[in-house]
Amino acid sequence: MDSYKYRPEPYRIKMVEPLVIPTRAQREEAIKRAGYNTFLLSSEDVYIDLLTDSGTNAMSDNQWAGLMLGDEAYAGSKNFKHLEEAVRDLYGFKYVVPTHQGRGAENILSKIMIKPGDIVPGNMYFTTTRAHQELAGATFRDVIVDEAHDPDNEHPFKGNVDLNKLQALIDEVGPERIPYVCMAVTVNMAGGQPVSMENLRAVRELTSRYGIKVMFDATRCAENACFIKHREPGYKDKGIREILREMFSYGDGCTMSGKKDGIVNIGGFLAMNDHELYQKATALVVVYEGMPSYGGMAGRDMEGLARGLYEAADYGYLAHRLDQVKYLGDRLIEAGIPVVRPIGGHAVFLNARKFYPHIPQDQFPAQMLAAQIYIESGVRSMERGIVSAGRDEHGNNRHPKLELVRLTIPRRVYTYAHLDVVVDGVKAAWENRNNVKGLRFVYEPPVLRFFTSRFEPIE
Ligand SMILES: *Cc1c(COP(=O)(O)O)cnc(C)c1O
């Protein structure tokens, strides 16, 4: 591929969705109406939507064809069997419980594995994952390597667990209070950073000495596998499927949001090897989701997901995806814009602390930066900083080291030309950075506040 300026798309476009570019006056009005929260913008007011890679994927012709083969039987749908076969084949887990999306699986996993007073270690928190752990009575403990909290550190596997931190936690609270280690591949909140195979192996070794389970957050496992292939000695010549199977051999099960590396618009599942755990999960899935053979998804959606899991494990697709994200990151770095390094798998993260050193974290610099990028360009991004981190058990704001804005790339949706527009929008926000002030809350909901809170500028 060296003869190309950048790795070209390994697909062609056969259906298009027209976009409208709102004027600057319309954008200023829209962000005010949205309470300076990009989650509250109407999709119609957005030109390029980099809010999330969740459920925003373009499905393939093969997936759309699969939708027509939906078996909508209330029980025993054949599409469920296809999904189960895909998960067994690609990930190696025996039992599959479909859910409406990732958090449905997190809800069930937390309820069947956690008892009040437990501690769940993880390689950095994720919003919905931690919320379900806490609702089940557990406390989350971050055991990710220190490098993950440093946006400028170039460590190739910033998603790794710090084994000393994990050992210290086991010594401190005792293994009986740790139901499982939550292992995210890749780590969204650290910037889409991968975990190395060596680290997965070491975590398995350490936890198995104490009988502690390892449950993966497999949401972006295919992207993680591609990073292992590109960066880890000994994996260059291995196939993505082989790498995925090895990764998951170091765990007992996973939760999965099909909306990311499943390349569908909705869906997810919980998977595991232990039969007793599976029975507990099926007992709950009928309460919260649906029959164990559809669990919140239509038959057609399970078919799309089964096919998407295979497509996501294709190296040609993955290499293009990671390159496209890196293209955006590299153009921003060239322009002197502060971003988290190395560039992650699904998104480029802007370091809002360096954009607005004059805005204290309690005045939500990243929230304001996302609003400014929208005003400049019609590009929608999202805050990943103090607002997303929420409040602790005493009601105080958590102050994460990383105060970031995420530019998330949907799978197979935008072209390099779109990404050039994004670069120009971020550059315009950077040039105007000294004129920007902070925000204060106008409305703040009690949990997962970043979704619906509203703000106004501090004059
Ligand atoms: C999106 C996501 C989830 C939750 O999945 P949903 O499908 O949005 O419910 C869990 N973990 C990670 C890392 C995610 O990115």
In three-state form (DSSP H/G/I as H, E/B as E, the rest C), the secondary structure along the chain is CCCCCCCCCCCCCCCCCCCCCCCHHHHHHHHHHCCCCHHHCCHHHCCEECCCCCCCCCCCHHHHHHHCCCCCCCCCCHHHHHHHHHHHHHCCCCEEEEECCHHHHHHHHHHHHCCCCCEEEECCCCHHHHHHHHHCCCEEEECECHHHHCCCCCCCCCCCECHHHHHHHHHHHCHHHCCEEEEECCEHHHCCECCCHHHHHHHHHHHHHHCCEEEEECCCHHHHHHHHHHHCCCCCCCCHHHHHHHHHHCCCEEEEECCCCCCCCCCEEEEECCHHHHHHHHHHHHHHCCCCCCCCCCHHHHHHHHHHHHHHCCHHHHHHHHHHHHHHHHHHHHCCCCECCCCCCCEEEEEHHHHCCCCCHHHCHHHHHHHHHHHHHCEECEEECHHHHCECCCCCECCCCCCEEEEECCCCCCCHHHHHHHHHHHHHHHHCHHHCCCEEEEECCCCCHHHCCEEEECC
Mean pLDDT over 115-130 rounds to: 96
Ligand 1 within 6 A of CB of 388? no
Pick from 123, 128, 182 the residue to mutate for probing ligand 1's pocket: most ligand atoms within 8 Å of its CB. 128
| Percent of the chain with pLDDT strictly greater than 70 | 99
Which amino acid would we find at residue 374?
Answer: Y
Catalytic residue of the set 32, 61, 74, 236:
74
Pick from 221, 259, 288, 408 the residue to mutate for probing ligand 1's pocket: most ligand atoms within 8 Å of its CB. 259
260 is known as an active-site residue: yes
Catalytic residue of the set 103, 307, 326, 384:
384
Ligand 1 within 6 A of CB of 232? no
74 is known as an active-site residue: yes
Looking at the whole model, is its pTM more than 0.85? yes
> Residue 2: what pLDDT?
56
Q: How far apart are CA 270 and CA 93, in angstroms?
A: 10
How many A from CA of 334 to the centre of ligand 1?
A: 31
How many A from CA of 87 to the centre of ligand 1?
A: 18
Residues of the chain with CATH 3.90.1150.10: 24-53+315-457
Which residue bears the tokens 């401190």?
A: 172
> Are β-strands 95-99 and 139-142 bridged in parallel, bridged antiparallel, or unpaired?
unpaired
Ligand 1 within 6 A of CB of 261? no
Ligand 1 within 6 A of CB of 408? no
Ligand 1 atom 6, closest CA: 102
Nearest to 278 by CA among 252, 299, 245, 248: 252
Q: How far apart are CA 399 and CA 386, in angstroms?
A: 6
Residues of the chain with CATH 3.40.640.10: 61-312
Right CATH for 61-312 from 3.40.640.10, 3.20.20.60, 3.90.650.10, 3.40.50.880: 3.40.640.10
Catalytic residue of the set 217, 252, 261, 301:
217
Residues 6+ apart with CB under 8 A from 405: 349, 350, 352, 366, 369, 370, 373, 381, 382, 383, 384, 385
451 is known as an active-site residue: no
Ligand 1 within 6 A of CB of 56? no
Ligand 1 within 6 A of CB of 54? yes
Report whether pLDDT(459) > 90: no
pLDDT, tens only, 297-348: 999 999 999 999 999 999 999 999 999 999 999 999 999 999 999 999 999 9
Separation in Å, CA 79 to CA 57, 84, 286, 299: 20, 9, 18, 6
| Ligand 1 atom nearest to 104, measured from its CA | 9
Ligand 1 within 6 A of CB of 110? no
pLDDT, tens only, 67-95: 999 999 999 999 999 999 999 999 999 99
Mean pLDDT over 26-48 rounds to: 98
207 is known as an active-site residue: no
> Residue 3: what pLDDT?
64
Phi, psi of 445 (to 5 degrees): -75, 160
Catalytic residue of the set 47, 91, 95, 126:
126
Ligand 1 within 6 A of CB of 102? yes
pLDDT band at 246 (very low <50, low <70, confident <90, very high): very high
278 is known as an active-site residue: no
Report whether pLDDT(294) > 90: yes
pLDDT, tens only, 137-189: 999 999 999 999 999 999 999 999 999 999 999 999 999 999 999 999 999 98
Report whether pLDDT(1) > 70: no
Q: How far apart are CA 93 and CA 97, in angstroms?
A: 11
Pick from 123, 132, 257, 266 the residue to mutate for probing ligand 1's pocket: most ligand atoms within 8 Å of its CB. 257
Assign domain 24-53+315-457 to a CATH class: alpha beta
Report whether pLDDT(227) > 90: yes
Average pLDDT, the chain: 96
> Residue 83: what pLDDT?
98
